[in-house]
Amino acid sequence: MDYGACELVEDIARDMYEKIFPTKRIGIYRKMLKLEKIVYKQLWGIRSIGIWGMPGIGKTTLAEAAFDQFSGDYEASCIIKDFDKEFLAKGLYHLWNEYLGENINNSFIKSGQKRLLIVLDNVLKPLDADAFLNGFDWFGPGSLIIITSRDKQVLVQCGVNQIYEVEGLNKDEAKQLLHGCAFGIDWRKQSGLETLAPYYISVKYFSGNPLALSLYEEMLSHMKSDKMEVKLLKLNHPPPQIMEVFKSNYNALNENEKSMFLDIACFFRGEKADYVMQLFEGCGFFPHVGIYVLVDKCLVTIVKRKMEMHNLIQIVGKAISNEGTVELDRHVRLWDTSIIQPLLEDEETKLKGESKVCYEKC
């Protein structure tokens, strides 16, 4: 089969996959191909892969797709969504019984001859995942373990063989999701759609995050295209769903790491990494450790030696910073004109009042 024929077959397969899963799994077929290559290149034995990425990027959707596609090849399989919550609520023994109870009580499986597929989604505590997996000393050759997490170090501590970082939607996928969800339009059958504001928003603003696109779809569908970009550029507080998901990563940081994250979000995005590191060292933040914690938790990236972060993460960071200024008696970070102007006006009023008092006393 020549290269052109291979491309044609892949296009047909992608179209069929997207017809079966019209919006939820847009872009997943492309990622599944990469995931399959990683899995099948591993040596025969107990294979394992970690799926890593920022909140909303599609880790769970990819894990579900992998489970649907692979599970038929294994003699026993289970997928546990929100593994940490399930583990906390039910405990190790009840999880075993609920998800693999029949197999656990089957003595010949314990001989180690059975091929198992285990998918643990949204793991935050590696010790819990390790306890669950180490209970199965009967994994047979060819078994596969898939773990998803927004923290790279969790996957490292779980001892997975390889880590796959989930990419955002590309331009075409973002357009397909946005136009299909918000407008009910198949963008591939329409000309001139790339000139609409949603196209620029999906690429520049959301940076291919499926969760963000799907959450904003209802708002976009009720707006005229010429007003969408203006509306979103003025956005300074994300929807509660996004705020909640992203803030959980922030809450897992220590105080120094929180300060560095908020400073980068408010002031240092796009600055040279070495320069920012020096500033943080002067503040006693131990940035050579803290920055890479932020990277592993998908809050910050270092691209071409510059500090970068996803647009949505920056918005969440600024929103958290603003919340902090309300709670404190003093303003820690002054980056927003809506905060700076009232502060200056208040200070000017105080100075005038002090001058009047001083004049009256004289």
Taking alpha carbons only, the member of 295, 210, 201, 198 closest to residue 245 is 210
| Spatial contact of 299 and 313, defined as CB atoms under 8 Å apart | yes
Q: What is the pLDDT of residue 67?
A: 95
Strand, helix or coil for residue 240 = helix
Tokens representing 306? 């510059």
For residues 337 and 329, what is the distance between their CA atoms, to the nearest angstrom?
A: 18
**Phi, psi for residue 230 in degrees, rounded to 5:** -60, -45
- Please report the DSSP string for 139-168 in residue order: BPTT-EEEEEES-HHHHHHTT-SEEEEPP-
- pLDDT for the residue 316: 87
Q: In the predicted model, is pLDDT for residue 2 greater than 70?
A: no
pLDDT band per the 50, 70, 90 thresholds, residue 347: low
**pLDDT one-digit tens code per residue, 22-78:** 556 788 888 999 999 999 999 988 999 999 999 889 999 999 999 999 998 998 899
Evaluate if residue 94 carries a pLDDT over 60: yes
Q: What is the mean pLDDT of the chain?
A: 77
Whether the predicted pLDDT of 183 surpasses 50: no
Global pTM reads 0.79
* Residue 340: pLDDT band with limits 50, 70, 90: low
DSSP element (H, E) containing 307: strand 306-308
Q: Which of 116, 135, 120 is nearest to 75 (CA)?
A: 116
pLDDT for residue 1 is more than 80: no
Residues in the chain: 362
pLDDT at 150: 94
Tokens of 38: 């990683």
For 240-299, write each residue's pLDDT tens digit: 777 888 888 899 999 999 999 999 998 999 999 999 999 999 988 999 999 999 999 999
Joined tokens for residue 230: 């203006």
Confidence class of residue 85 from pLDDT cuts 50, 70 and 90? Answer: very high
CA distance 19 to 264: 41
Structural domains of the chain, with CATH: 3-165 (3.40.50.300), 171-235 (no CATH), 251-344 (1.10.10)
